[in-house]
Chain A
Amino acid sequence: MLASWQYRERNSFVQSFDPRAWLIFIAMFIFSAFLFWDMRYLLFFFLTALFFVLRSGVRWKESKRAWLFIGGFILFFSLLTFLTGRGSSEFFTEEHLIREFTAKFSILGWTPTLRVTAEKTAYAISMLLRVFSIAALTILIPYTLNPALYGITFHGLGMPDKFAFAMDLTMRFVPTFARDFQLTMDAQKARGYELEKVEGGLIAQIRKLAPLVVPVTIQAVAGSEDIIDAMDLRAFGVTKRTWIQQLQYRRRDYVLIGFGVLLMLVSISLAMFGLGQYYVPGFLL
């Protein structure tokens, strides 16, 4: 059976919008944020995202794991880029050194050196702002979108019935997968399996994940067969269906969509004029 995300009625600013308006806005926001590399522009996106997060009513306690997991992921990769200097070199050719750290040892004639440059620092800050803005709104989706309305929401966004219902099932697949994974993990632990002790080379490590991966995969496949039977037995997909839920745009939804459209139009215009691209603030130089 499909599990649900931890949605609940929150009576918050974010959940006062029609789910379609909310999704449309998020899509336009993300599209716009992708157009910029200038940390001043990105700061605007970051603050906007922060505003929505704070007004979502989603408590730290319930979403802690998502923030820490995704936040950790972003920090790790930003740091990696910062340390190695890779990924950012397309933006600059010349670097201004701020400080240089040299290790007091060398390995096979190579002395590890960390060159902190203005360009790399600016890139790292921009990257963090950009990815955090996008991730923040994405993290909010499962917490703020009523699972009972998934289907009608996607249907209302213009998808055909089958597609909309498929999206509904897909959205719920993730928490279901998490639940099955936990059950399998417990069952294998009871057989003395310890994930922490998985060792060996990469291939060996992947092989040793089989006790988790195989049952979870089989469950997913078997589960989807059940779902197909259950849908067939109740006449799914034979005709254009009725949706008992109804969604109604209100003025605030138009305002939100309007804001999204404006954001996108302004962003596209700025980007077309070459504004908002990679920028190194003067004080770093």
Chain B
Amino acid sequence: MEQAETSLPTLEIEHLSFRYQRREELAIRDISLTVHPGEIVLIAGASGCGKTTLARCINGLNPRSYRGDLQGSIRICGRDIRELKLVEVSQMVGTVLQDPERQILGTKVINEVAFGLENLALPREEVLERVDQAMARLRISDLRGRDTFLLSGGEKQKVAVAGVLAMRPRLLMLDEPLASLDPASARETLDLVRELADEGMAILMIEHRVEDVLSIRPDRILFMDGGEIKYLGPLAGLAGVVDYHAVKLPVAMTMAMAVKDPPPPRISMLPSGQGEKTTLVEFRAVNFGYGDERNVLKDVNLKINRGDVIAVLGANGAGKTTLVKHAIGLLKPSAGDVLVDGKSTHELSIAQVAAMLGYVFQSPSHMLFAPTVRDELSFGPKNLKHPPHEIARDVAEAIRIVHLEGREEDPPLALSFGQQKRVSIASILSMRSRILVMDEPTAGQDYRNFMSFMNAIVQLPNFESILFITHDIDLAVVYANRVLLVNDGRVVRDGSPYEVLQDLDLLVENRLVPTSLLKENLLHYPRTGTFLRAEHLAHAVMLN
């Protein structure tokens, strides 16, 4: 990439405030920030803190596409953003959106990478040259003629970045780029961002899982809360200002802070799962393939027992979702059998399985439809023909668990994404199934929110077993009592969190990256005999 010709800051923001049209309050207020070429600034904060609004002001979508009132000034490479057209801004500021799925427009990789350059009407030869350079830069030249639709999550992310880099921006802005990636793909993206910064590009990275981004050594961290800057400076200074419940910090930092607070209450997991370990779901030599393709699941044998809290870990495309969809009968094995409560899913309708096993899909937007939250939550139990007085009781209970009291009459579709996700979970809770299955329950949630509802769910009295799919090793460390490691359609390891996660080489082989919380837990395991969350670990090991 080109070095900046001058020593001008790439981005200068002074006293920036923004208020969306038809909103009373400011979305962000009095933001000042200067970013120089080669600098990485990490923007952290909980959902609704104003990160996205800030990003949209910088890339020009606010107020051009999202109308509102912008006060203060933004200068990009010395030029006032107000005097620039969006097309000019888009050549200086490259934006990688949260979900590459939402950014990719081209059918083939090459079309996607070329899209911006085509729009700038550069000569065809130059477009092709720059496209080849950008792809070589990201080491994805071999993807050139592939269908974007069929790429893995990590590949999609790189293609999206290539499409932005081809336009040779001075400032690269990434909005939670890791959210949909498995840890190894996330690590590759981060390494790349570091390289780009080293070559002189200014980087703004928005991410609330601070710990996950530290490997790129951000120069400064900007912490936002309620639309304002609460902290701007090096990582070390963050400890004094930020709430460790709101942002995921490296474990050492969290522990140092948590040890000064009173210990949080212990969580009693799965109160209904105690006692006899009866088998609830059984996979017998399950094989599955879509059409002509090679098998996605290969000879899976598995028992889900009463009392199990299972984390299913694995890379993108490992077969986790396919495996779990078999448990509810949405997919039926091509060979072998899945037994739910002793009966084969071949002989059960999905509705029959649903009475036993509740399945929360990854994206709430695929299921929410009702005019009110209450109706949404009543839908499942009504389908299962529960009596009305039970429905009323169970719906009220589910609303309480996900902290949506007072929202009963609101339309679910008008809620924030985090709230919608909680409605989607509650709509399964109200069915009072015996087993709860969740696909990426924490995706798109900020740290505080997902820790809070995961805490509530594992303590619920209705479930005899819980199973969740995740990329997040820490979720397995904190909540699971059993871990399934899935790779290439096979269960490669099945055991207690300690048994599976202590083998760090195994994790790396399976495209997972050990976290600081895991390492800290392994270090103290001889003393604690169990995995603990950072707060508990702090009190267990730092006080004595």
Contacts and interface: CB of A to CB of B under 8 A. Distances in A.
Q: What is the interface of chain A mostly: helix, strand, loop, or mixed?
A: helix
Q: Name the residue in A150, A219, A230 with the highest tally of chain B Cβ atoms < 10 Å from its Cβ.
A: A230
Contacts of A232: 61, 64-65, 86, 90
B167 interface: yes
A184 interface: yes
A239 B120 contact: yes
B107 A190 contact: no
Interface string B278-309: 00000000000000000000000000000000
B231 interface: no
Interface of A: 1-4, 147-148, 150, 168-169, 172, 180, 183-184, 186-194, 210-215, 218-219, 222-223, 226-246
B104 interface: yes
Interface stretch (B366-374, B468-476, B530-538): B366-374
B149 A4 contact: yes
B61 A215 contact: no
B398 to A, nearest CB: 13
Nearest to A147: B107
Contacts of A210: 369-370
A214 B65 contact: no
B115 A234 contact: yes
Interface in B353-387: 354-355, 358-359, 361, 363, 365-370, 379-380, 383-384
Nearest to B325: A186
A250 B340 CA distance: 61
Given A191-B380, A191-B431, A241-B118, A211 B369 contact: yes
Given A190-B358, A234-B164, A235-B91, 10 more contacts: A190-B350, A192-B351, A194-B351, A214-B369, A226-B103, A229-B65, A232-B64, A233-B59, A235-B116, A241-B119
Given A215-B367, A234-B116, A244-B114, A190 B361 contact: yes
Contacts of A215: 365-369
B205 to A, nearest CB: 17
A194 B106 CA distance: 36
7 contacts: A147-B107, A215-B368, A230-B103, A232-B64, A234-B115, A238-B120, A240-B121
A143 B249 CA distance: 50
Interface string B141-164: 000000111000000100000011
B105 interface: yes
B119 A237 contact: yes
A238 B354 contact: no
A244 B107 contact: no
Interface in B84-99: 85-87, 90-91, 95, 97
A241 B330 CA distance: 45
Contacts of A169: 105
A3 B105 contact: no
Contacts of A228: 65
Contacts of B358: 190
B42 interface: no
Contacts of A211: 367, 369, 379
A2 B105 contact: yes
Interface of B: 59, 61, 64-65, 85-87, 90-91, 95, 97, 100-108, 110-111, 114-124, 127-128, 131, 147-149, 156, 163-164, 167, 325, 328, 330, 349-351, 354-355, 358-359, 361, 363, 365-370, 379-380, 383-384, 413, 427-428, 431
A234 B148 CA distance: 17
A188 B367 contact: yes
B383 A192 contact: yes
Contacts of A2: 105, 107, 149
Contacts of A223: 102
Nearest to A171: B107
B119 A190 contact: no
A230 B96 CA distance: 9
A193 B351 contact: yes
A217 to B, nearest CB: 9
A237 B431 CA distance: 49
A230 B117 contact: no
A178 B316 CA distance: 23
A233 B88 CA distance: 10
Given A187-B361, A229-B61, A235 B119 contact: yes
Contacts of B117: 242
A192 B97 contact: no
A222 B179 CA distance: 19
Given A218-B365, A219-B366, A238 B87 contact: yes
Contact of A150 (B97, B107, B121, B370): B107
B118 A243 contact: yes
A214 B363 CA distance: 15
Nearest to A213: B369
Q: Name the residue in B116, B328, B365 with the highest tally of chain A Cβ atoms < 10 Å from its Cβ.
A: B365
Contact of A193 (B61, B105, B124, B383): B383
B114 A187 contact: no
A181 to B, nearest CB: 10
Counting from the closest, the 7 A-B pairs by CB-CB distance are A192-B383, A234-B116, A214-B369, A1-B101, A191-B380, A187-B367, A226-B102
B330 A190 contact: yes
A3 B149 contact: yes
Contacts of A183: 361, 363, 366
Contact of B147 (A4, A190, A230, A241): A4
A246 B127 CA distance: 13
Given A1-B101, A192-B351, A232-B64, A148 B111 contact: yes
Contacts of B368: 214-215, 218
B355 A192 contact: yes
